[in-house]
Structure 1
Amino acid sequence: MSRSTLIAAIFGLWLAWPAQAQPAFVDARNYPAPGMGTAAFDRLEERWLEGFDVACGDALCTGVYDYQRPFKISCAVRSIDGVLKSCHWAIVGTVERTDPETGTSEYEIRSVICEIPLASDIPLQVLLETADDRDPFFDPLPGGKTSAYWGIADCVGPLVSDVKGAHRIR
């Protein structure tokens, strides 16, 4: 093998290396490049939080864990084309009781990770557009028949009715 052929082969491998090093999936906030999706995804998250607050006041947050707050929304997308793989929402529920005789407060804390029911092969951009076009929390998600609300309502059931797995803090 000649020296120029060897150099060309090494150069070709060097050029191909970044494409191979790219992860298969990235967080939606980092698509198409690190940090570039943050503003658009934050807008969608803001609208989902508004919907959660309305639903929580209506019926979603009644029961044992009457104080519930969404903690973090995360969506994974294919890095090569921006198609959604999954979205999850961490939600924390608490209930506080005060012992009337000692004045000591006791807290029970429960967290759940809720999967947002996505249709398959939906581009991230299509989901992000729902933040401005319609109600992204209560309306059916793109390509599907289920809303983010129903995905969350099915998931937080243990927060409103079950004390198993609660963490007690005194």
Structure 2
Amino acid sequence: MLFTALSAMALAAATPVGLPTTSQTAPVYVDAIDYPGDEDGWSTFYDLERRLARGFNDICGDTFCEGEYSNIQHLRYRCSVRLADGVMGECIWTFAGSNQEVDPTSGKVVVDGRIWQCKSPIVPGTTIGEFYRALAGRDAIDARLPRGGRSIYHGLTDCGF
């Protein structure tokens, strides 16, 4: 009995904090592409992401891409959804950009790269269904989010490009 208790304590001490164990419970939140089940939201979410990327590309040159980083690119848009009831957790839109210059003495290209993680202003209690309906049109980036929320564009203005 003592050996079993000591073995369990050693195993617990050897398991890094934050890593899943075999006795972990079901997830509370999932990626929107996996709501309500495994990859069930795939086509709806990726359609939305494509429309958001198109909207960003349409406005980038006159807004966010006029500064030091003129080549900002959309990388990925991701949202979390509470599995039990479809209430959204948060949405993060990730972008990357860079500024390159040639060093005239060495000929090396000097790169200053940045990554931005922009949080969409989702109002607490918003469901994924409400979210998709509000952003169903072509101009999803400018559509007002449900429950009196601001647009995803407004979330980008808070991002600090």
1:120 equivalent in alignment to 2:124: yes
Return 5+ residue gaps in structure 2 as ranges: 1-23
Deviations 1:14-49 (A, max 9, x none): xxxxxx933111110100011111110001111110
Contact 2:122 2:149 in 1 (8 A): no
Q: SS of the counterpart of 2:158? A: helix
Q: For each residue in 1:126-165, what CA deviation from the matched residue of structure 2 results, as whole angstroms up to 9, or x when unmatched?
A: 212234335210121122341111111220x2x4xxxxxx
- What does 1:2-151 align with in structure 2 at a 5 Å threshold? 21-133=25-137, 135-151=139-155
Give the conservation status (yes or no) of the 8 Å contact 2:135–2:143.
no
Structure of greater relative contact order (alpha carbons < 8 Å, 6+ residues apart): 1
Query: Greater CA radius of gyration, 1 or 2?
Result: 1
Q: How far off is 1:114 after superposition? A: 1.0
Q: Percent identity?
A: 33
> Any gaps of 5 or more consecutive residues in structure 1?
1-19, 160-170
Matched residues in 2 for 1:153 and 1:93: separation?
A: 16
- Is the 1:47–1:131 Cα contact (8 Å) retained in structure 2? no
Q: Secondary structure at the match of 2:116?
A: strand
Task: With the length of structure 1 as denominator, give the TM-score of the two structures.
Answer: 0.74
Larger CA deviation: 21-30 vs 99-108: 99-108
C-alpha distance in structure 2 between counterparts of 1:66 and 1:133, whole Å: 28
What is the CA–CA distance in structure 1 between the aligned matches of 2:132 and 2:149, rounded to whole Å?
Answer: 17
Q: Give secondary structure in 1 for the equivalent of 2:76.
A: strand
**How many residues were matched structurally?**
138
Q: Which amino acid aligns with 1:37?
A: G
Give the partner amino acid of 1:82: G
- Contact 1:48 1:136 (C-alpha < 8 Å) held by counterparts: yes
**Kept after mapping to 2: 8 A contact 1:44/1:130:** no
Give yes or no for contact 2:29–2:83 (8 Å, CA) kept in 1: yes
SS of residue paired to 2:140? coil
